[in-house]
Amino acid sequence: MKKDKKSKKKDSKKIKEKKVKLTIKNDDTPIKTSELEQYFKMLYKLYQFHVEQPIEFNNQKLFPSEYNTLLIIDENQNSNLTQLATYLEISKSATTKNTNKLLEKTLITKTKSSKIARTVLFNLTPEGQAISDALKLKNTETKKAVEKILKKIPDKTCVSETLENLCQLFNQS
């Protein structure tokens, strides 16, 4: 049986009304979903800027996998390939690709271990250190921006509860 146009309009109106306000658990203060959407969109834009986009330093284009590797090497000087793969939580072959790219760009050095044969250790070059320091500053700025956005969400609201309620809301409609 097909629904008539008036019935469909009523249903869509109900859904729109449901999406206008969202009540958070243990709190009677309604929060407009559109506000939450804005906060999450801002967080997503920050995420895209920070994690998904290649960045350029001193005419060197670095992709996220490369600059994450650079930061890990900075935090763990004299690490071997297996250790880096563990820290990065990626395969050794992916780590090898990243370190080879960074070696080509002269951002890291590779030296043979004096203790263990067939083991190489990775460290930053001065240029690699400068880029790592700039990335750390960018990370700090991004964290501050995220904190600023999260502070805009009402005090009694927990992001995980909000997401849970949004999921329930979408499941109802």
Residue-wise pLDDT for 25-34, tens only, equals 344 454 455 6
Instruction: Tell me the average pLDDT of the chain.
Output: 75
CATH architecture of 32-164: Orthogonal Bundle (1.10)
- In tens, the pLDDT along 134-159 reads 888 888 887 787 777 777 766 554 55
Per-residue confidence (pLDDT) for residue 140, from 0 to 100: 84
Q: What is the DSSP string of the chain?
A: -PPPHHHHHHHHHHHHHHHHEEEPTT---EEEHHHHHHHHHHHHHHHIIIIIS-EEETTEEE-HHHHHHHHHHHHTTTB-HHHHHHHHTS-HHHHHHHHHHHHHTTSEEEEE-SSSTT-EEEEE-HHHHHHHHHHHHHHHHHHHHHHHHHHHS-TT--HHHHHHHHHHHHHH-
Q: What's the whole-model pTM score?
A: 0.63
Confidence class for position 109, pLDDT limits 50, 70, 90 = very high
Per-residue confidence (pLDDT) for residue 48, from 0 to 100: 67
pLDDT higher than 80, residue 114? yes
Domain residue ranges in the chain: 32-164
Per-residue confidence (pLDDT) for residue 161, from 0 to 100: 64
Confidence class for position 21, pLDDT limits 50, 70, 90 = very low
